[in-house]
């Protein structure tokens, strides 16, 4: 009889422990996301974002496993000012701001937690909204250029731009709101924060004359460049051929050193009648004897001459 109360006691303790463990597990797994924030759950094992949550309590039970996930919170709201510029027709190559149509927009936006795709690159960046705003800025600039180009359908006309821009701007705002909403960005507000600036018809006409002269100079300069490139290319080919010829001659001389002497003689041509080859001493043959040898030669010659004269004298009557 006493065993039943004991069993019941242990059973109640077990239920209490079970409830306490469940409560602890539930409470520890909950994460509160404040207003204006987005909670991003990143799986460290698979290296990918596995959850994005908005304001409220969010159960993240994987965080109870050490090292399995990391939690990141981002501001869901942001603002930026975008400076916009688009080229005027026919003079798009002129980079000066004076020859463009320009203004600026100011935007306030918020990220939709379950629609905007947050990547690993965003959560690892020190300032995550730099990547977000750069994407928004790129979209706004492209949409502005496309929208403004429709104002030039019949050519540049400053008066037409002044009349049509307000309606065109509202259409642009509507298109931007729709495009950003598809990617999970809600525009809370958008407005033109600086006036639309563009040249008058008179200034634009003067710029066209200047641009035509510039293009003419560029074409002439281009032709001169082509001519110069052709001359340089021909000289380069001639120089390459000459260098190859010298390489062949050098190889032949290395194999036959006497070829260089032959080339030197051939170069002299008809200007040389007699060539005296050099002796071992380095002087032409016959000019390297000593003065005594030369005197002996002269004495022998004189004695021979005298003997011949005496012989002739004896023979004569």
All structural domains of the chain with their residue ranges: 17-74, 76-199, 213-293
Q: Which two tokens stand for residue 296?
A: 């002996």
Of all helices (H) and strands (E), which one includes residue 296?
helix 291-315
Tell me the HSE value of 272 on the side-chain side, using a 13 A CA sphere: 9
Q: How far apart are CA 310 and CA 301, in angstroms?
A: 15
DSSP characters for 129-177?
Answer: HHHHHHHHHHHHHHHHHHHHHGGGBTB--HHHHHHHHHHHHHHHHHHHH
9 CB-near residues (< 8 Å, 6+ apart): none
Question: Cα 133 to chain center, whole Å?
Answer: 24
- Burial, 240: exposed, middle or buried (Cβ in 10 Å; 0-12, 13-18, 19+)? exposed
Q: Is 13 helix (H, G, I), strand (E, B) or coil?
A: helix
Q: Provide the whole-model pTM.
A: 0.58
CATH number of 76-199: 3.30.479.30
Task: Decide if 98 contacts 59 (C-beta within 8 A).
Answer: no
**What do you get for the CA distance between the two ends of the chain, in Å?**
195
Q: Residue-wise pLDDT tens for the chain (317 aa)?
A: 456 676 777 777 777 777 776 777 666 778 888 988 999 999 888 888 888 998 888 888 788 788 888 888 889 999 999 999 988 877 766 666 667 899 999 999 999 988 898 888 888 887 888 889 999 999 999 999 999 988 887 788 889 999 999 999 999 999 999 999 999 999 999 999 999 998 888 888 877 777 666 666 666 666 555 555 555 566 555 666 666 776 777 777 777 766 666 666 666 655 555 555 555 554 444 444 444 444 444 444 444 444 444 444 343 33
For the four alpha carbons of 249, 254, 258 and 264, in that order, the dihedral sign comes to: positive
**Residue with token string 């062949």:** 248
Question: What b/e sequence results for 147-170 when a residue is b if at least 16 CB atoms lie within 10 Å of its CB, and e otherwise?
Answer: bbeebbeeebeeeebeeebeebbe
């Amino acid at each position: 009889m006493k065993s039943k109360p004991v069993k019941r006691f242990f059973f109640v303790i077990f239920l209490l422990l079970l409830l306490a463990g469940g409560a602890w597990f539930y409470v520890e797994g909950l994460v509160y996301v404040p207003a204006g924030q987005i909670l991003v759950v990143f799986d460290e094992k698979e290296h990918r974002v596995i959850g994005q949550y908005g304001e409220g309590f969010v159960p993240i039970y994987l965080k109870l496993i050490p090292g399995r996930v990391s939690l990141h919170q981002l501001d869901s709201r942001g603002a930026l000012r975008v400076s916009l510029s688009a080229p005027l027709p026919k003079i798009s190559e002129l980079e000066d701001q004076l020859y463009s149509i320009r203004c600026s927009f100011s935007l306030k936006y918020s990220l939709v937690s379950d629609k905007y795709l947050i990547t690993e690159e965003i959560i690892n960046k020190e300032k995550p909204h730099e990547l977000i705003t750069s994407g928004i800025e790129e979209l706004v600039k492209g949409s502005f250029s496309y929208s403004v180009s429709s104002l030039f359908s019949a050519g540049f006309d400053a008066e037409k731009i002044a009349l049509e821009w307000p309606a065109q701007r509202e259409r642009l705002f509507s298109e931007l709101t729709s495009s950003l909403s598809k990617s999970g960005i809600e525009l809370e507000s958008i407005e033109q924060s600086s006036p639309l600036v563009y040249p008058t018809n008179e200034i634009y006409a003067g710029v066209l004359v200047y641009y035509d002269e510039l293009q003419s100079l560029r074409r002439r300069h281009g032709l001169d460049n082509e001519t110069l490139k052709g001359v340089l290319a021909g000289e380069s080919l001639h120089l390459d051929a000459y260098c190859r010829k010298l390489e062949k001659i050098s190889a032949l001389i290395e194999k036959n050193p006497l070829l260089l002497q032959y080339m030197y003689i051939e170069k002299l041509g008809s200007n040389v009648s007699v060539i005296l080859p050099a002796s071992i001493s380095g002087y032409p043959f016959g000019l390297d004897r000593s003065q005594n040898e030369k005197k002996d030669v002269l004495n022998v010659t004189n004695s021979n001459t005298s003997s011949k004269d005496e012989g002739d004298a004896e023979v004569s009557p």
